[in-house]
A and B are shown apart, each in its own frame.
Chain A
Amino acid sequence: MVRFIHTADWQLGKAFGTLPDDLSVLARKERQEVIKRIAQAARKNDCTHVIVAGDVWDSTIPNAATIKQPFQTIEKYPDMTWWLMPGNHDLDDVDGLWHRVEAAAPENVRCLRKAEPVQMEAGTFLLPAPWSRLDPGQDLSEWMDRAETPDGAIRIGVAHGSVRTFGTKDQDRDDGDSEAIIAPDRATRARLDYLALGDWHGRVAINSRTFYSGTPEPDRHKNNLRGQVLLVEIDRPGAEPRVTDIPTARYDWPLIDLTLQVDEIDTAIKHVEGVLREGQDLQDTIAFIRLSGATTLSEWSRFKAAIDALEEECAALTVKGEERLKWVVKAEDLDGLDAQGSVRAAAEALTQRRDDPTLSQQDRDLAAHALRLLFGLAATVEETAP
């Protein structure tokens, strides 16, 4: 039986410019820290091999520290062999990254730089499909079909890229970063016992022998991002692998698409709280709420208060789309706006402007914004009133 950890897409060195500076540093550092958790998971599960299926680094030109820092952790686990393969982010090209990696790596690191069988351990061979150019123009795993290994050997493919076809990328779907495609049935064609894939940051099982491990520490707001590695166990050649998720991430990155509806603000607040609290602690949650729909001033005040409270607890909470909301003005809003006339007249004028179909959307949005500001002033007055 062979047992190993399948991971990918560490993307060491990735920057988090949209996060606050302190959190950005932490998030970046955490991508190094997660290696410790991977090593601990491997040791805990008696694994002596960790296969990283591409994109170990985020760039082909990381600085020296970014290259060396993971090795400081890895060399502390000399009983494990770490198999690193170039992906589309860390190509083995003229930038010479992998020369630098090999020069800096400890002895328990093996770089899979050539598309040729490599014996992982007795009776087990790795068939890697490393990246050496950004646009390979072919399925790099194709060679595996013809790869010769001794009879009775366990064949483990290692590849990086998408199993979908070109041109179907969806911004919100985790299709990976690369444009390359890998035949979904590569495991069958190449008689692979397991095909360890990288590129998609979410954990996906393509079939019983083909898995994306996802990234061990998420780095973006996608629907299915919970960082983990996969423990893969293969009893014998041809046996179906047992694949077990082992969570490794510190941070959750939930994305909440929230469509507000008038009179339903409490439901929306509950939904947000539910999503945020179901994962890591809020202090390790970097959340993003994308707003749409319509609301009223009073409801928005309640929602804003709730969000502000959550924001204080979260590592980061970003809300966008406020300017796209439709601000519903109710008669009681207008009545409550002011007891006297000109403010009400201004509110009515702005409402009329907001709903004027002859104006451009930009002008209507601007009127809605101004209306919201006016209601905001009224709310402030109410709040400060004795």
Chain B
Amino acid sequence: MRLDALRFRNLGAFGAEGITVEGLRPGLNVIAERNERGKSSLLAGLELLLFANHKATGKIVTSLSRDDGASPEGEIDFTFGGTEYRLVKRFRAGKSAELIDRRTGQVIARRGDAEERLADMLGAAGKAQGPSGLLWVRQGTSMSPISDDGHVAARLETELSTLVGGDRARDYLTQVENRLGEYRTGQGRAKKHGPIDLAQQALDTAQAELAMAKQAARNIRDTNRALANVTAKLTQLEEGYDPEVASEKLKAAQEKLTAAKAADDKRRAAQSEVKRLDTLAERATETLTTFNEACLARDASETEKTALTAQLTDLDRAHAAAKTAHEAAKQTVSDLYEAREQAAQQEKLRHDQESLTERNAQLQALLETLELVENKAAARADLIAEKDALPPITPDDLNTLLKLERHHDDVKARREQLSVPLIFEADGAGTLTLDGVPVKSGPITLSAGSRLAIEGIGTLRLNHPDSEQLDREAAQIQDQITNWYATFEVSSAREANAQMQARADLDRDLMQLTAELRAIAPNGRDQILDQKERLETEVETLAARLGAADEIFDEEADPADQLAQLGAAKAQLDAAWDQLSEIDRKRATLTERRHAAEQKLSIAAAQTDPQHRDAHRATLTTEALKADQAAAQAREALAALAGQATSDPAMIEADIERLTMIQTNHAKERETLIIEKARLEAERQAAFERRDPDAEVGRLTDQVEQLSTELARHEREADALTLLRDTLVQSQQALQDHYTAPVRKELLPLLRQVIDGADLVLSEQLGATGLVRDGQDDALERLSGGTQEQIAVLTRLAFARLLARGGQPCPVILDDALVYADDQRREQMFTVLNHVATPNPKGEAGLQLLYLSCHENATRGLGGHRLTLERWAAD
């Protein structure tokens, strides 16, 4: 379809005078008019005539009707399939619709037929936006994303010879996802309260109930077993026990115990009597024995005392003799010690006398040495005094003086050598003398100190610049020399040297003398004086001691003899002492023994009398015999009792205890078993009043199996749904990729004209859902308004080109569709619009575009065929 002209009246902004746009061409048509000029009404009229039934009275008509009630009407001239048509429609009063062949002016169809023919040509019956929303891009809707409503798809399917899932595939997928959603969450877990969850819960519950039921059944069986066990025990207990027999046995045992206890008491009494009488007999025998022994002991003590007394008398005598011998030996030893002391004293006196002689000789020699030392010391003092009188000039001092003098001489020499060469040319008028010597013509030298006398004129002297310095230096040296002499109190170097030599000679003499003194008294004079004093003291001490002593004998005692005598005397003394000690010891022993004997005798005084002794012994003997006889009789009686055979009461008591315990235990056990039996019966009875336990187990076992099967079935169903969903998605994706390729091929060059290097993500409905730039994928809704708008327009252009190639050309109307574009993008979009509106080199026609704008300036760069809104002349 291609639009050629549009005319409207009594519609929107257009009154009875109407409006017309004539001369629309293939390619780009532009209407740029300011606001309120009726562009919107123009588009509304176009939509009304193309898509609204001429009988329509609804909002689409009323919203465009004017207040004066005039009927909206209009004409659209268009070309389709090479035929030029005119669509004429009137709404409300006088409503009509006609499709006219413009070349012939013939009405081809009227009313409904006309509208059906039109819809067929539009290829979009009932679609106010035109095929795939291409026809209109209204003000304010330009940003709306576009998607295919099947027209592009149908075109592509024809071209690709392939089938796309389309609505049915989407419907299947939705159904599968819905059904899967009943089973599982998006994360693959069982959905809460879904079939899997419910089956699992039911299974868990049934399993728990089954476990409880099994336990209940086990409990009943355990109770039954316990009851059978208790019953068997009770039977066994009662079968093996006769209470009467047990009572009789117990009674007999108790009687037997009474008899046995009586016999036992008798025997114990007899045993006590035997024991008592045995004790008495034993004591009587002991008394007799003790008495006899006491008599014998007294006699022995008497005899012993007598013997001991005699022995002690002998010992007293021996003791006196030994004591005498000891005293004699003691005197001998004392005498010998005294003799030895005297001999030692004599020896010592002789030694002192020898020492005194020796010390006197030593003292004399020392006095002589002392005199020599004192002489030498006096000579040395003289030499020191002589030396001290000479100046202490050292060779270094003398060298210093000599150096000063040489230096002084040197300075003076340099002073003397200062001169100036002169040339004397005698003219004969006068005489020239140098230091009084006449000078002839020729060169002369005027030295320092020299005088050049010019006769009749005067005298010339050398005034050299160094002379003053040298004079000061010579004066300083002279001062040092003068000071040296003053220091050492000499007047010349020679004198100084002579005194220095004299002093050296005195030093040598002093050294000689000192060496001699050291040889005589190496440790000094004081030490000789100390020795002298010590020797004098010793001599005085020795002389005093000798003066005080007795006479000194010339004969000397032999110490060896003295020692031998002393040893022998000591041996005698020790022997005498030993003998004395031995006697004392024996005397002490015997004295003690005699004392003991006397003690015994004093104790046994009662047995002294023989008559009394015998009578007492007879009495004791009689008592012992009687006691023995009584004990023997008692033992006989006890033996008679022991011979009587009786049972052990302890054994009988144990037997009674045993029989009693049997009786008690039986009663207790029976009671326990009866109670236990009753309890178990009650427990079982209670259990059997409840649900049938095994039936419950069977029922729940069946249920668990069934629920397990059901759960598995649900799981399997969910798995199958998951597989089906994944397979459907994969299949759709694979086909979609193939299917969207032509759209992408058409769209991408246009898009890249506007956005360099960009790519688009297309949905299954072929609409753009995202933009890829620099590898970044942005969802369409996140893009700027301008970019969204441009993509929406470009997608429409791509769809329109695809449809045009498929033989279904369709005009695209853009009503201020680029309001969000910046200047650069708008320019790029204008280029694209011109490109798609221009026939290409392959001979394919360009799209028909109608671009409406209220921005005249903004559309200047668009180019295209400019149209204006003109008044529609009345019929």
Decide if A17 touches B702 in the complex (CB within 8 Å). Answer: yes
- State A369–B723 Cα separation when bound (angstroms): 9
Q: Are B224 and A94 in contact (CB under 8 A)?
A: yes
Q: Are A17 and B169 in contact (CB under 8 A)?
A: no
Q: Judging by beta carbons under 8 Å apart, are B168 and A369 in contact?
A: no
* Contact B694 A13, beta carbon cutoff 8 Å: yes
Specify the chain A residue showing the minimal Cβ separation from B162: A341
* A18-B706, A61-B221, A342-B735 known; A350-B698 Cβ under 8 A: no
Q: Is A366 an interface residue (CB 8 A)?
A: yes
**Chain B residue contacts of A16, Cβ below 8 A:** 699, 702
Are A340 and B168 in contact, with the CB atoms below 8 A? yes
Question: Do A370 and B692 touch across chains, with their CB atoms under 8 A apart?
Answer: no
Identify the interface centre among A66, A67, A366, A373: most chain B CB within 10 Å of its CB.
Answer: A373
Q: Which B residues lie within 8 Å of A343 (CB)?
A: 165, 168-169, 172, 728, 731
A residues in contact with B730, CB < 8 Å:
346, 349
Query: Is there a chain A Cβ closer than 8 Å to B545's Cβ?
Result: no
What is the bound-complex CA distance between A17 and B691, given in angstroms?
14
Cα A153 to Cα B424 with chains together (Å)? 210
Q: Please give me the residue from chain A that is nearest to B163 by CB atom.
A: A341
Which residues of A have CB within 8 Å of B220? 61, 95
Least CB separation from B166: chain A residue: A340
Q: In the docked arrangement, what's the CA distance between A323 and B699, Å? A: 26
Q: Kindly state whether residue B727 has any CB partner on chain A within 8 Å.
A: yes
B762 at the A interface (CB under 8 A): no
The residue from B163, B172, B175, B696 contacting A15, defined by CB atoms under 8 A apart: B696
Determine if B656 is an interface residue (Cβ-Cβ < 8 Å): no
Q: Tell me whether B705 and A344 are in contact (CB under 8 A).
A: no
**Contacting pair B228 A369 (CB below 8 A):** no
| A338 close to B (CB within 8 Å) | yes
Query: Quick check: B705 and A366 within 8 Å, CB to CB?
Result: no
In the assembled complex, which residues on chain B have CB atoms less than 8 Å from the CB atom of A378? Answer: 172
Give complex CA distance A366, B227 in Å.
55
Chain A: interface residue total (CB-CB under 8 A): 45
Q: Would B163 and A344 count as touching, CB distance under 8 A?
A: yes
| Chain B residues with CB below 8 A from A95, complex form | 220-221, 224-225
A305 is an interface residue with CB less than 8 A from chain B: no
Contact: B720 with A366, CB < 8 Å?
yes
Whether A122 sits at the interface, judged by CB under 8 Å, is no
Chain B residues whose CB sits within 8 angstroms of the CB of A60 once the complex forms:
221, 224, 694
Contact between B720 and A61 (Cβ–Cβ < 8 Å)? no
CA distance A325 to B45 in the complex (A): 64
- A95→B227 CA distance, assembly (Å): 9
**Chain A nearest Cβ from B276, distance in angstroms:** 72
Asked if A345 is at the interface of the complex by the 8 Å CB criterion, the answer is yes
Which positions 210-226 of chain B face chain A at CB distance < 8 Å? 217, 220-221, 224-225
A220 CB, min distance to chain B CBs, angstroms: 11
In the bound complex, residues from chain B placing their C-beta under 8 Å from that of A24 are 699
Tell me which of B217, B728, B736 contacts A346 (CB under 8 A).
B728
Partner of A62, one of B163, B685, B694, B732: B694
Q: Which of B171, B695, B705, B731 contacts A58 (CB 8 A)?
A: B695
Instruction: Establish whether residues B688 and A64, one from each chain, have CB atoms under 8 Å apart when the complex forms.
Output: yes
Confirm or deny: B486 has a beta carbon within 8 angstroms of a beta carbon on chain A. no
B701 touches A17 (CB 8 A): yes
A374 on interface, CB distance cutoff 8 Å:
yes
Does A367 reach chain B (CB closer than 8 Å)? yes
Interface residues of A in 112-132 (CB under 8 A from B): none
Do the beta carbons of B731 and A349 come within 8 Å of each other?
A: yes
Instruction: Identify the closest chain B residue to A350 (Cβ).
Output: B727
Q: In the complex, what residues of B have CB within 8 A of residue A17's CB?
A: 698-703, 705-706
Tell yes or no: B308 within 8 A of A by CB. no
B713 closest partner in A (C-beta): A323
Residues from chain A with a CB closer than 8 A to the CB of B176 are 373, 377
B809 within 8 A of A: no
CB-based contact A342/B728 at 8 Å: yes
A221 within 8 A of B: no
Contact A63 B691, beta carbon cutoff 8 Å: yes
Residue B595 lies at the interface, judged by CB distance under 8 Å to chain A: no
Give A61 to B693 CA distance when docked, in angstroms.
Answer: 7
Name B157's closest neighbour in chain A (CB-CB).
A340
Q: List, in ascending order, chain A residues with CB within 8 A of B685's CB.
A: 64
Classify the secondary structure of A's interface with B.
Answer: helix
Q: How many residues of B contact A (CB 8 A)?
A: 56
Residues of B within 8 A of A370 (CB): 720-721, 723-724, 727
**A15 CA to B701 CA in the complex, in Å?**
10
Inter-chain contact A377/B175, CB cutoff 8 Å = yes
B724 and A374 form a contact (CB under 8 A): yes
* Given A13-B695, A17-B699, A373-B176, CB of A350 within 8 Å of CB of B724: yes
Quick one: given A18-B702, A369-B720, A381-B171, are A63 and B224 in contact (CB under 8 Å)?
A: no
Pick from A63, A67, A340, A369: contact of B163, CB below 8 A.
A340
Q: Counting CB contacts under 8 A, is A110 at the interface?
A: no
Chain B residue numbers with a CB within 8 Å of A164 are: none
Residue of A nearest to B735 (CB): A342
Q: Mark A82-123, 1 if CB is under 8 A from B, else 0.
A: 000000000000111000100000000000000000000000
Q: Is B689 an interface residue (CB 8 A)?
A: yes
Report A31-84 residues with CB < 8 Å from chain B CB.
Answer: 58-67
A96 to B697 alpha-carbon distance, docked (Å): 19
* Contact A15–B164 (Cβ < 8 Å): no
Docked-complex contact A339 and B163, CB < 8 angstroms = yes
A345 and B694 form a contact (CB under 8 A): no
Q: Is the CB of B728 within 8 A of A373?
A: no
The reply to whether A323 and B702 form a contact with Cβ atoms under 8 Å apart is no
Say yes or no: is B717 at the interface (Cβ < 8 Å to chain A): yes
Indicate whether A222 reaches chain B with its CB closer than 8 angstroms. no
How many whole Å from B124's CB to the nearest CB in chain A? 21
B720/A373 in contact, CB under 8 A: yes
Q: How far is the CA of A350 from the CA of B735 in the complex (A)?
A: 16
Checking A18, A350, A369 against B716 with a beta-carbon cut-off of 8 angstroms, the contacting residue is A369
Q: How far is the CB of B531 from chain A (nearest CB, A)?
A: 135
Is B690 positioned at the interface, with any CB of A under 8 Å from its CB?
Answer: yes
Kindly provide the distance from the CB of A13 to the nearest chain B CB, expressed in whole angstroms: 5
| Known interface pairs A94-B225, A96-B227, A349-B727; A15-B168 also in contact (CB < 8 Å) | no
Which residues of the other chain, B, contact A236 by a CB distance below 8 angstroms? none
- Whether B695 and A346, one on each chain, are in contact in the complex, defined by CB atoms closer than 8 angstroms, is no
Q: How far is the CA of A341 from the CA of B172 in the complex (A)?
A: 13
Cα distance, A372 to B730, chains bound together (Å): 18
CA distance A367 to B727 in the complex (A): 10
Per the bound structure, the CA–CA distance linking A339 and B691 in Å amounts to 60
Kindly identify, within residues 241 to 258 of chain A, every residue whose CB is under 8 Å from any CB belonging to chain B: none
Q: How far is the CB of A365 from chain B (nearest CB, A)?
A: 8
Enumerate chain B residues within 8 angstroms of A374, measured Cβ to Cβ.
Answer: 172, 724, 728
Please indicate the chain B residues that have their CB under 8 angstroms from the CB of A169 in the complex.
none
Bound-complex Cα distance A173 to B376 (A) = 163
Cβ–Cβ contact B727 & A346, under 8 A: yes
B690 and chain A: residue at smallest CB distance: A63
Q: Is A342 touching B694 in the complex (CB atoms < 8 A)?
A: no
**Nearest 5 interchain pairs by C-beta:** A17-B702, A341-B163, A59-B694, A342-B165, A15-B699
27 chain-A/chain-B pairs, Cβ below 8 angstroms: A15-B692, A15-B695, A17-B705, A58-B695, A59-B692, A59-B693, A61-B687, A63-B688, A66-B692, A95-B224, A100-B688, A338-B168, A340-B164, A342-B163, A342-B164, A342-B731, A342-B732, A342-B736, A343-B169, A345-B734, A346-B728, A346-B731, A350-B724, A366-B720, A369-B719, A369-B723, A373-B717
